[in-house]
A and B are shown apart, each in its own frame.
Chain A
Amino acid sequence: MPLTFSSESQNRIKKILGRYPNKMAACLPLLYVAQEEFGHVSTEAMDLVAETLELPPSHVYGVATFYTMFNKKKVGKYHIQACTNVSCMLCGAYDVLGRLERKLGIKAGETTKDGLFTLSEVECLAYCGTAPAVQVNEEIHELVSPDKVDDLIETLKTQG
């Protein structure tokens, strides 16, 4: 089924296009708009971006698959991203990741069956001074410990 942008998204797109000297430059911003509206960047969503920007679909596929923040698969309501790069690692990030995996019953890269959580191991989030850092959707959690992981997951489950 071909997708279409909502009128709200279309208004955003109009504004975005006004910021750049050509349509191709709006490729990343539009992939974000598509991801926000459709939940993830499916082939249909990429086709829609291509059509909107008058670009070959292959160009948009190439761009979308290059960048890690465009989710090509559906992710859970809460996307938990644990940094394990060096500064976080030195402060116990692998213990945090291990606790997340046990607590959620999934491995990094997987989504819980109820679709509530996706867990990812990610690279440096630039919160090295308050390591370890875990990002939940757009929100950063700093100085995370395994015990704090338990509280965090419980809170998110309660919110549902």
Chain B
Amino acid sequence: MAENMAESNIVKITTQSFGNPEAKEISTYERLGGYKSLRKAVRMKHDEVIEEVKKANLRGRGGAGFPAGVKWGFVPKDAKKVYLVVNFDEGEPGTFKDKTLVGWDPHRLVEGAAIAAYAIRAHHVFIYIRGELYKEARILEEAIEEAYKRRYLGSGIAGSTWSLDMVVHRGAGAYICGEETSLLNSLEGRRGWPRLKPPFPAIKGAFDEPTIVNNVETLMNVPTILDKGGAWFAELGVERDGGTRCVAISGHVKLPGVYEIPVGMNLKAIIDEVGGGMRGNAPVYAVIPGGSSTPVLTADEIDVPYSSQAMAESERIRPVEVYPGKLFDAGFPGGAVLRSMPGSGAIVVMEAGTDVVAVCARLMRFYAHESCGQCTPCREGTGWLAKVCTRVAEGQGKAGDVDLLAHIADGISSKTICPLGDAAAWPMLGFLTKFRKEFEARIKHA
């Protein structure tokens, strides 16, 4: 494993056991203070636990960034049966933080999920792990078995009267199942087709019961929040975005890996200091900042804080366009422009000389492969994007192909049940906005 620890004084929460192969064992985890927070939580009222997490300003770490405590509060108080589902279907290209976190420290997820389940009054947790992660599924299953033996799971958890079951459910190779309603259909034994919202899962989710779906990293912060307090956690981050967050850096950097950083750290500094800078002599050329669905940045645009707000608003990042001069309407409230976002925390760095047209074409083939086929604009549109973008990348492009790509992408966006359509359209338009000349040159020389 090549996870590298950033040398710094940054507080480590989710990555505190990186480098310690014994942390996977429950005795070590307990010795390091593990399961203390669960014991504390089950002695609190359910709503007090939710309040503490609200105070922490813990935002979801899966990509959408919704405040976790607020989400937990959506479960109807009179619900008879509630489920917690852990989204461990990590599949966004460039993203590998959750599998790394669980690989080192599985009990932190078990404990975080147990606390969350108690908070929302759930007796059942399903951990939906992507099918390809055989090793991590085994690690997690062993951890859960140990937790049952030590009575942190089962009937009367951590000395309380609360009962809790936890089950690992393996996916079977479908990116779309990372979308929460698709994940729920998959958990129920159906095709992973996203559902219309509303009803939201908190009202009607798994098996038609109120369900909270949380990302792995999100839940791994919960034991520390209970231990040190929501206010302490909130203080570590920025306004309305508490704590630290993990980034997964890959591509042409010296030290690719998973690192825990303060929310709002400068993106250029993350690449230079945490990722060790570029691996060769070539400078940064392009950066996908938050997983393959987020609009690409050029080297001039990376001197920005790595936070949702800064990357949505910073004038340093050029807004995404459909055509030069025509801003893209992503359907945001108030007509806000689309710049970029830290998304899933996956930073893919490309050096000068990278064939960005080929990279874009590869991403479009990915989305075409992973479209679930339910909505026509996405099913047909992603296929067309893949076909046209690939022919441009291979030097077979036709006059008008650049506008055609923009037109198709704009035609998919905001017209589908789930965000996969947008997840394909945004990077397509992002690459065209930032590297239009390269696409045009490829066609001219075709």
- Interface presence of A156 (CB below 8 A): no
Q: Among residues 6 to 45 in chain A, which have CB atoms less than 8 Å away from a CB atom of chain B? A: 19-29, 31-32
- Interface presence of B121 (CB below 8 A): no
Binary per-residue interface labels of chain B (164-200) against chain A in the complex, 1 for a CB within 8 Å, 0 otherwise: 0101011111110000000000111111100000000
- Interface presence of A3 (CB below 8 A): no
Segment at the B interface, from A83-91, A96-104, A110-118, A144-152 = A83-91
Segment at the A interface, from B301-309, B314-322, B346-354, B394-402 = B346-354
- Interface presence of B257 (CB below 8 A): yes
Identify which of A70, A124, A125 contacts B92 (C-beta below 8 A): A124
Chain A nearest CB from B216 CB (Å) reads: 12
Chain B nearest CB from A16 CB (Å) reads: 10
Identify which of B100, B172, B354 contacts A69 (C-beta below 8 A): B172
Chain A nearest CB from B204 CB (Å) reads: 15
Asked whether, in the complex, the Cβ of A22 is within 8 Å of the Cβ of B250, the reply is: no
For B94, the chain A residues whose CB sits under 8 A away are 86-87, 124, 128
Asked whether, in the complex, the Cβ of A130 is within 8 Å of the Cβ of B2, the reply is: yes
Binary per-residue interface labels of chain A (120-135) against chain B in the complex, 1 for a CB within 8 Å, 0 otherwise: 0001111111110001
Interface size class of A (residues with CB under 8 A): 35 or more
- Interface presence of B377 (CB below 8 A): no
Q: For residue A131, which residue of chain B has the nearest CB?
A: B250
For A29, the chain B residues whose CB sits under 8 A away are 169-170
- Interface presence of B99 (CB below 8 A): yes
Asked whether, in the complex, the Cβ of A126 is within 8 Å of the Cβ of B174, the reply is: no
**Most B C-beta atoms less than 10 A away, residue of A28, A63, A126, A127:** A126
- Interface presence of B130 (CB below 8 A): yes
Q: A128 to B97: give the CA distance in the assembly, Å.
A: 10
- Interface presence of B235 (CB below 8 A): no
Asked whether, in the complex, the Cβ of A21 is within 8 Å of the Cβ of B207, the reply is: yes
Chain B nearest CB from A30 CB (Å) reads: 9
Asked whether, in the complex, the Cβ of A125 is within 8 Å of the Cβ of B359, the reply is: no
Q: Among residues 132 to 183 in chain B, which have CB atoms less than 8 Å away from a CB atom of chain A? A: 132-135, 165, 167, 169-175
- Interface presence of A2 (CB below 8 A): no
For A66, the chain B residues whose CB sits under 8 A away are 174, 191-192, 372
Chain B nearest CB from A92 CB (Å) reads: 11
For B133, the chain A residues whose CB sits under 8 A away are 126
Q: A20 to B124: give the CA distance in the assembly, Å.
A: 10
Identify which of A23, A26, A55, A126 contacts B95 (C-beta below 8 A): A126
- Interface presence of A142 (CB below 8 A): yes
Binary per-residue interface labels of chain B (243-284) against chain A in the complex, 1 for a CB within 8 Å, 0 otherwise: 000001111100011100000000000000000000000000
A24 and B190 in contact (CB under 8 A), knowing A32-B170, A125-B132, A129-B3? Answer: yes
A123 and B131 in contact (CB under 8 A), knowing A86-B93, A90-B354? Answer: no
Q: A67 to B174: give the CA distance in the assembly, Å.
A: 6
Chain A nearest CB from B12 CB (Å) reads: 18
Q: A92 to B213: give the CA distance in the assembly, Å.
A: 36
Asked whether, in the complex, the Cβ of B167 is within 8 Å of the Cβ of A138, the reply is: no
- Interface presence of A62 (CB below 8 A): yes
The 8 closest A-B pairs by CB, nearest first: A27-B189, A67-B172, A68-B173, A69-B173, A128-B250, A87-B250, A24-B189, A66-B191
Contacts A126-B98, A129-B250 known; list 20 others, CB within 8 Å. A24-B190, A25-B189, A53-B189, A59-B190, A63-B190, A66-B174, A68-B173, A70-B173, A85-B93, A87-B93, A87-B251, A87-B348, A90-B250, A124-B93, A126-B130, A126-B132, A126-B133, A128-B94, A129-B96, A130-B256
Task: List, sorted by A's number, 21 A–B pairs whose CB atoms are closer than 8 Å.
Answer: A19-B165, A21-B207, A24-B188, A25-B187, A28-B170, A55-B189, A63-B189, A67-B131, A70-B172, A85-B362, A86-B288, A87-B94, A90-B251, A90-B350, A123-B175, A124-B94, A128-B93, A128-B346, A135-B132, A140-B135, A142-B2
